[in-house]
Amino acid sequence: MDTLHRGLKQANLKRSPGLWAGFAIPGTVWLIALFVIPFYAVACIAFGTIDPIFRDAVPQWNPLAWNFAQAQEIFTSLITGPLRGVAVRTVIYVVCALSLCFLFGFPIAYFLARHAGKRKLLLLVLIIVPFWVNYLMRMLAWVNLLSVDGLFTRFMRNFGVNYNWLDGSPITVILGLVYGYIPFLILPLYATLERLDWRLVDAARDLGANSRQAFRMVTLPLSKAGMVAAGILIALPMFGDYYTNDLLSRSPSTEMIGNQIDFFLNASTEPQKGALLVLALSMFLLLFMSFYLRSTRQQSRQVTR
């Protein structure tokens, strides 16, 4: 009976592929026109030529005629040349910020999922609030606190700390990234831990594991996939961040790759370099993105099964 029903169900859904495709077409066409083609345009500009008179980028729409001279120059610059500092700094900042986010975010998500008790809804709401506070407002709040006569700067002066927070300080930029992105880590981590089958942890305890062993051998392996996905989810925008840096530092000494892209595309006459950096960044992030998409697809497949 059950198989019969399932068979009917599948037949019912399969019978009208045209109708469902019709529903998907407008959105798909939109995304091809304004998401896929723009990437092609970026490549055509990156591998195009430069107008000898106006010094402007001339896109090369034919992939067979792409010119890779500029690309070679930029990639050399990223690996050994002047852009190397920016590339290395971007990775260091993101790794530092990500580690700090996990260091504080994981215990918070763990507590929320496991021990929050009666106050759970209240805590959850308070943790979701920053999600809905505009990012620039949150940065503005820190700019006010950290400026020369800001509350925090004055407070720290009482302890003899006289630091210029907003003038090219890597500490401020990294903490700014942590402040900006940690809410987006805590929530997915919480969701992972919430879904976890805690009976397994209790079983480990009953079988003689101490709490540390149970954590290391049961909790951690079970939540690993979710942790990696959550980490990627905030690492991706961090790698492309330029506004946090721009608002909290504004100094060339803390510039990240995003700042260079912003500069070349919005403030210089060399958009081709900007296009090349966008390509380089996308290639680098593609690795993380495909990993993320694969792991979430596996998860959703497990759920529907």
Q: CB-wise, 77 or 194, nearer to other proteins?
A: 194
Q: CB-wise, 8 or 92, nearer to other proteins?
A: 8
Smallest distance from other proteins to CB 303, Å: 8
Q: Does position 54 bind other proteins by CB under 8 A?
A: no
Out of 94, 98, 187, 218, point to the residue binding other proteins (CB under 8 A): 187
Q: CB-wise, 27 or 82, nearer to other proteins?
A: 27
Out of 1, 3, 4, 14, point to the residue binding other proteins (CB under 8 A): 14
Out of 266, 268, 269, 298, point to the residue binding other proteins (CB under 8 A): 266
Segment lying near other proteins (by CB under 8 A), choices 38-46, 69-77, 78-86, 89-97: 38-46
Segment lying near other proteins (by CB under 8 A), choices 66-74, 90-98, 204-212, 215-223: 204-212
Binding mask 158-177 for other proteins (x = CB under 8 A): --------x-----------
Q: Does position 299 bind other proteins by CB under 8 A?
A: no
HEC string of the chain equals CHHHHHHHHHHHHHCCHHHHHHHHHHHHHHHHHHHHHHHHHHHHHHCCEECCCCCCEECCCCHHHCCCHHHHHHHHHHHCCCCHHHHHHHHHHHHHHHHHHHHHHHHHHHHHHHCCHHHHHHHHHHHHHHHHCCHHHHHHHHHHHHCCCCHHHHHHHCCCCCCCCCCCCHHHHHHHHHHHHHHHHHHHHHHHHHHCCHHHHHHHHHCCCCHHHHHHHHHHHHHHHHHHHHHHHHHHHHHCCCHHHHHHCCCHHHCCHHHHHHHHHHCCCCHHHHHHHHHHHHHHHHHHHHHHHHHHHHHHHHHHC
Out of 65, 136, 171, 217, point to the residue binding other proteins (CB under 8 A): 136
Beta partners for 50?
A: 57
Residue 241 neighbours by CB under 8 Å, 6+ apart: 177, 180, 256, 258
Residue 225 neighbours by CB under 8 Å, 6+ apart: 192, 295, 298, 299
Segment lying near other proteins (by CB under 8 A), choices 70-78, 90-98, 157-165, 234-242: 234-242
Binding mask 93-132 for other proteins (x = CB under 8 A): -----------x--xx-xxx--x----xx-xxxxxxxxxx
Smallest distance from other proteins to CB 113, Å: 9
Q: Does position 250 bind other proteins by CB under 8 A?
A: yes
Smallest distance from other proteins to CB 143, Å: 5
Binding residue count for other proteins, defined by CB under 8 A: 110
Smallest distance from other proteins to CB 127, Å: 7
Segment lying near other proteins (by CB under 8 A), choices 82-90, 157-165, 220-228, 291-299: 291-299
